[in-house]
Structure 1
Amino acid sequence: MIKSGRSRKLSVEEEMLIMAVIIMTGTSQGIGAAMAHVLLERGHRLVGISRRRNDALIQAFPTELVCMEADLADTAGLGPLMERIFQQMGTDEERVCLVNNAAVLAPLRNAEQCDSAEIARHMQINLIAPMILTSLFAKHTSGLRGEKRVLNISSGSARYLLPGMSCYCTAKAGLDTFTACVGLEQQNKEYPLQIASVWPGMNETQMQEEARRQDGGFQNAEMFIEAKKNGRLHSPDETARKLADLLLGESFPHGTIVESLY
């Protein structure tokens, strides 16, 4: 593991010399929407996967953005989805990236208070879908000689555990472990992909609003309320820029968990 996500940032001019095609989940809101905007603004092509279309992004970037509406809990549909994406992309891209960003927070209750359907849906979206998408990405790009990168958006909750967040903490810990394992698997490949996981910190997003609600029975809501009051939340726009720099920077932290962007 490494403690910082700081690497030499490429200038916009340098970055534009190697344009990327980026597949990203969860682009309809929060950090995902902000990061998608940053990447598109820099001239990269983006395939956004989310349950809802991001009409603002579509209007701003009608030629660079392709939106795919999908429910990541429907893991059986991920294979056909990636097949369609790679058929449209072609196989001669110089730089291809996957960003597993989509996540849910609920259920925010102790384990015995969660029903089986809630637990299953949470793990399908937060852990199983990123694993499957990474596997499919690796298969589809196995013969590509260009640069291939996977960035998994994880959380400090993988290590810093809270009551009422057993599903979320477990999924993020699993995502970090999966990242490290795939990193090891790629070491001896002829055309390896690079993979890393990152903790983006606490950001003012819809997920934070959900954690602050006191009507849902989440026993640690007050901690999140205090974080907002004390100005401890990062701006999603600033975090998005740092994530974009990490994804496309000159040195990518392959096989590691980046614990701090700031």
Structure 2
Amino acid sequence: MGRDVEVFSHGVAVITGAGAGIGAGLARRAGALGMTVVVADVDLDRAQAITGEIRAAGGLADPIRVDVSRAEELDRLAETVHARHGDVRLLVNNAGIETIGYSWEIPAERWDATLDINVHGVVHGVRAFAPRMLASGQEAWIANLASMGAFSVMPCQTAYIMTKHAVQAFSECLYLEMQLKGAPIHVCSIMPGMLKTSIFEASAGAGEPPAAATHRRKMFEMMRDYGMDLAEGCQRIMEQVAEGRFWVHTQPDMTMSAIESRIAFFNSQQPPVMNEAVRELVD
């Protein structure tokens, strides 16, 4: 039995982007463990659907619409959550989008959305909730969604990859800041491997260049055919977060392979190299 059964058997969990994908899986798991789950998503209908699932299973949940690309909406979310439910025990900054296409072909609006959701959504999620967590003096957890992409590069997924590098660096610095404060707040960087989610579905590519559709379809099929079951992946994540780990993996071998390749690249100081498997994927 994982430590999450004890650690997250009570308290409030706030999960952004919880209307689908990993966010929804984590919301279901947190609800099953006994937490009151704030299901935050830009799509209120999706948030309400996940809330309904959690309640039907006997859990507690509250759907709230939030656009994490807007700092003021995260401030409002924090105010609403504390007014309704009190102190937050677990904050998961999960909301994110994948963007595909050559860097110069991605429209400015899609670039801005990717940066605002994937990076600013995490930064302002922490900025909105951390002061209240610190003021409570209670043990709490902040988990930010990074990615295996935080330790690799991928042509035509540049926008997404650079945001995950940024989230990883932010999380490392935040961890040290909490140490400086002597705060009982655990900071985690979640690195999902390949999970069965909807992030590469065609409908998620609005605003991308037309040529991105083929790449998106190949990635969707790969995740569908070879990805880990979402519920299993989210259980692994919650168990490791509860243990207070900074590094949180679903498939650690995949993450270590990416990290080792990155270390070799830094040591060699050679130009980036694209292998044939990557070429076939993006062609």
Q: Which amino acid aligns with 1:164?
A: C
Structure 2 equivalent of residue 39 of structure 1: 30
1:141 partner SS: helix
What's the CA shift for 1:210? Answer: 4.0
2:135 partner SS: coil
- For residue 258 of structure 1, the aligned residue among 227, 248, 256 is 248
Which structure has greater helix proportion? 2
- Gaps spanning 5+ residues in structure 1: where? 1-7
Aligned length: 243
Provide the C-alpha distance between the structure 1 equivalents of 2:120 and 2:244, rounded to a whole number of angstroms.
Answer: 24
- For residue 76 of structure 1, the aligned residue among 72, 87, 99 is 72
Distance 1:171-1:189 versus aligned 2 partners, 3 A rule? same
Structure 2 equivalent of residue 240 of structure 1: 234
Q: Deviations over 1:67-92 (max 9, x none)?
A: 1112222233221221121122224x
- Residues 33-112 of structure 1 mapped to structure 2, 5 A cutoff: 33-53=24-44, 54-62=47-55, 64-91=60-87, 96-106=89-99, 108-112=100-104
What's the CA shift for 1:109? Answer: 0.8
Greater mean deviation of Cα atoms: 175-184 or 215-224 = 215-224
* Identity between Structure 1 and Structure 2 (%): 21
- Residues 195-206 of structure 1 mapped to structure 2, 5 A cutoff: 195-206=187-198
- For residue 10 of structure 2, the aligned residue among 15, 19, 24 is 19
TM-score normalised by structure 1 residue count: 0.82
Greater mean deviation of Cα atoms: 148-157 or 219-228 = 219-228
Residues 25 and 48, structure 1, Cα contact 8 Å, conserved in 2:
yes
Provide the C-alpha distance between the structure 2 equivalents of 1:202 and 1:64, rounded to a whole number of angstroms.
Answer: 29
Structure 2 equivalent of residue 9 of structure 1: 2
Q: Which amino acid aligns with 2:80?
A: R
2:179 partner SS: coil
Structure 2 equivalent of residue 120 of structure 1: 112
Structure 2 equivalent of residue 4 of structure 1: none
| RMSD (CA atoms) | 2.6
1:137 lines up with 2:129 in the alignment:
yes
Q: Which amino acid aligns with 2:248?
A: V
What's the CA shift for 1:185? Answer: 0.8
Structure 2 equivalent of residue 3 of structure 1: none
1:164 lines up with 2:156 in the alignment:
yes
1:191 lines up with 2:186 in the alignment:
no
Residues 75 and 124, structure 1, Cα contact 8 Å, conserved in 2:
no
Q: Which amino acid aligns with 1:88?
A: R
Provide the C-alpha distance between the structure 1 equivalents of 2:25 and 2:165, rounded to a whole number of angstroms.
Answer: 24
- The structure whose RCO (Cα within 8 Å, separation 6+) is larger is 1
Greater mean deviation of Cα atoms: 121-130 or 151-160 = 151-160
Residues 193 and 250, structure 2, Cα contact 8 Å, conserved in 1:
yes
Residues 36 and 61, structure 2, Cα contact 8 Å, conserved in 1:
yes
What's the CA shift for 1:226? Answer: 6.6
2:196 partner SS: coil
Residues 16 and 95, structure 2, Cα contact 8 Å, conserved in 1:
yes
Q: Which amino acid aligns with 1:169?
A: I
Distance 1:45-1:212 versus aligned 2 partners, 3 A rule? closer
2:34 partner SS: coil
1:112 partner SS: coil
Provide the C-alpha distance between the structure 2 equivalents of 1:60 and 1:209, rounded to a whole number of angstroms.
Answer: 22
TM-score normalised by structure 2 residue count: 0.77
Residues 127 and 174, structure 1, Cα contact 8 Å, conserved in 2:
yes
Structure 1 equivalent of residue 168 of structure 2: 176
Distance 1:147-1:117 versus aligned 2 partners, 3 A rule? same
- Residues 208-223 of structure 1 mapped to structure 2, 5 A cutoff: 208-210=200-202, 216-218=210-212, 220-221=215-216
- Gaps spanning 5+ residues in structure 2: where? 253-283
